């Protein structure tokens, strides 16, 4: 499985109308792009743990989209609904991080750590 992970901080001056337009673009992408297996969006929790203080930048929101394979992720990224979502997203965020990860379930994913060369 491939996870497309987006950590982001919306612009402080983002209007309610712009927020709704971003939500609508994400809803359209979720409904119109069959390559998306699963999508989750959420807000960061702060539990007062030591790792909270280690973060150099605050990204209060996350979007995680899951795909069966690289071909499905590519289909998503090249879909017209994604183009519309990306345009809204880039206009809405102050800062963001975007990563794609290949994931395996349980102990099968540990093989990647064994291959780590630093």
Question: Is the predicted pLDDT of residue 82 greater than 90, yes or no?
Answer: yes
Is the pLDDT assigned to residue 76 strictly greater than 80? yes
Answer whether residue 6 shows pLDDT above 80.
Answer: yes
Residue 30 domain boundaries: 2-105
pTM of the model: 0.88
In a domain? residue 115: no
Torsion-angle region of 27 (φ positive above 0: left; ψ -120 to 50: alpha; else: beta): alpha
User: Which CATH number fits the domain that encloses residue 93?
Assistant: 3.30.70.100
Residue 9 pLDDT greater than 70, yes or no: yes
Query: Is 94 part of a structural domain of the chain?
Result: yes
Average pLDDT over residues 22-42: 96
Count of domains in the chain?
1
Say yes or no to pLDDT of 36 above 70: yes
The answer to whether residue 20 is domain-embedded is yes
- Percent of the chain exceeding pLDDT 70 equals 97
Give yes or no for residue 113 having a pLDDT over 80. no
Whether 111 is in a domain gets the answer no
Q: Is position 116 within any domain?
A: no
Average the pLDDT over 88-94 and give the result: 94
Establish if 86 belongs to a structural domain. Answer: yes
User: Which residues, in sequence order, are CB contacts of 43 under 8 Å at separation 6+?
Assistant: 60, 61, 62
The pLDDT value given to residue 115:
77
- Tell me if 117 is assigned to some domain: no
Residue 107 pLDDT: 82
Statement: residue 117 has pLDDT above 70: no
């Amino acid at each position: 499985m491939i996870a497309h992970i987006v950590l982001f901080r919306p612009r402080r001056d983002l209007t309610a109308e712009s927020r709704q337009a971003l939500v609508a673009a994400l809803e359209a992408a979720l409904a119109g792009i069959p390559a998306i297996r699963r999508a989750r969006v959420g807000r960061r929790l702060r539990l007062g743990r030591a790792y909270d203080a280690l973060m150099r930048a605050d990204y209060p929101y996350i979007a995680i989209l899951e795909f069966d394979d690289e071909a499905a992720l590519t289909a998503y990224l090249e879909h017209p609904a994604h183009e519309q979502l990306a345009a809204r997203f880039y206009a809405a965020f102050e800062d963001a991080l975007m990563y794609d990860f290949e994931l395996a379930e349980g102990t099968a994913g540990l093989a990647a750590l064994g291959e780590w060369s630093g």
